Structure 1
Amino acid sequence: MPNPPNAAIPCRAPSRADRGAAVATLAEAFQHEPAFSYILPDPLARRRALIRAFRIIFDEDVRAGAIMMTSQAEAVTAWRSPAQMHEGRWEAIRTRLPYLLAFGPAIGRAAKVAGLIKAHLPNEGCWYLHYAGCHSDHRGKGFGGAAIRAGLARADAERAKCWLETADAANLPIYRALGFEVSCTWQVPGGPQFWGMLRPSR
């Protein structure tokens, strides 16, 4: 029986054995997301690239913050800590070739989007909701909100602000309900609009 939206859905940090399931959920969740659709217009190429890219993101965000997931990876969130919100030099060097292999000829568009995201990150440290995804089979059941709240609880325990950006306008009311408000907007030239959202410390 599916969980009703307000049920207490347990969340946890993934083990190494959960990496494949977590990556698969994130890749499926972002298959039709506006920014990745702009970067990789071909759906088959996008599907392959997202699996490769989220393997990199999973590994880097485990180092730089935390991954939170519901028990069977129905929903997954990737967070970066305030100290690691901004990508460091060695991380950029370490991931340059893997991202090139993931995105191939689309690496220029990927770099353009990534550069604009970095340019709009707050200067002050925040818990950064880097990615949040819920598998389409489980949307509307409370899994996505539970995975996000698990990360917010950690930020609240540290009395830290939280930051995210989204290129999907449908996400705005969801994030507002979780305490985020739009802080800035920007447009990728020839691509999607982004909304940067800040959640005050609590």
Structure 2
Amino acid sequence: MTTTLHPPAPAVLITHDAVPVVAATLAAAFDNDPIFTWVAPDPALRRAGLPGWFAVAAAGLERHGRSWQSAACSAAALWVPPSTEPLSEAEGVLLGEATAPLGAGAMERSGVISAAMEAVHPQEPHHYLWLLGVSPDQQGAGLGTGLLAQYLTQLDSAGEAAYLEATSPQNRRLYERHGFEVTGVIQAENSPPLWAMWREPRGIDG
């Protein structure tokens, strides 16, 4: 059955200069996300600390040249190409340091859930969607769908697979509409579940 996707929103590659704005967009998008809420349960510390955390993440992934933002940076998608580590060792250290301001226990919880994700990360070549977020005031306008469809169209043309972890049932349903299939449930200690999702490339007729 062919799935009809929204037309891609106008998008541009994220540059280093755009990282602060991208970080602010992603921090707002993930403020109430189940996983980030579990890692950093204090709302005030989470709100204050997430922009710095996302700034480190966005700066590290920007260098891969696969991170996109919509017009006015109301949405952003950070991709990692095949056979590539998302962050260098030094960037990983910086991300850990940026996790500490999220509150007591945040580094430990982040480490636990990250280890659980890495344990089931597929070895087959794939493009990895590390993060996709939309500003709360723009959610429902198709911006995230547009960014996702744009990249997946390229992967279909190249015959390449994609992988991600959905952090909520709502996100899981979005990705299922775009051809991703759940391959497993990831959970660490008392964390909310994440859904490991894989997508084979589609033919030109869907």
Paired residue for 2:34?
Answer: 34
Confirm or deny: 8 A CA contact 2:126 2:163 kept in the other structure.
Answer: yes
User: Please, what TM-score do these two structures have when normalized by structure 1?
Assistant: 0.89
Aligned pair in 2 of structure 1 residues 98, 48: CA closer, same or farther (>3 Å)?
farther
Paired residue for 1:98?
Answer: 94
Aligned pair in 2 of structure 1 residues 48, 159: CA closer, same or farther (>3 Å)?
same
CA-atom RMSD, angstroms? 1.8
CA distance in 1, matches of 2:159, 2:146: 19
1:116-135 matches, cutoff 5 A: 116-135=116-135
User: Please, what TM-score do these two structures have when normalized by structure 2?
Assistant: 0.87
Deviations 1:80-118 (A, max 9, x none): 00121x457xx13x0243223212142111111111111
Q: Where does structure 1 differ by over 3 angstroms across 4 or more consecutive aligned residues?
A: 5-8
In the alignment, structure 1 segments of 5+ residues that lack a partner are: none
Confirm or deny: 8 A CA contact 2:117 2:186 kept in the other structure.
Answer: no
Return the letter of the residue paired with 1:53: W
Paired residue for 1:197?
Answer: 197
Deviations 1:167-189 (A, max 9, x none): 20111221111111111112221
Number of equivalenced pairs: 194
CA distance in 2, matches of 1:78, 1:8: 16
CA distance in 2, matches of 1:8, 1:190: 37
SS in 1 for 2:72: coil
Give percent identity, aligned residues only: 26
Paired residue for 1:47?
Answer: 47
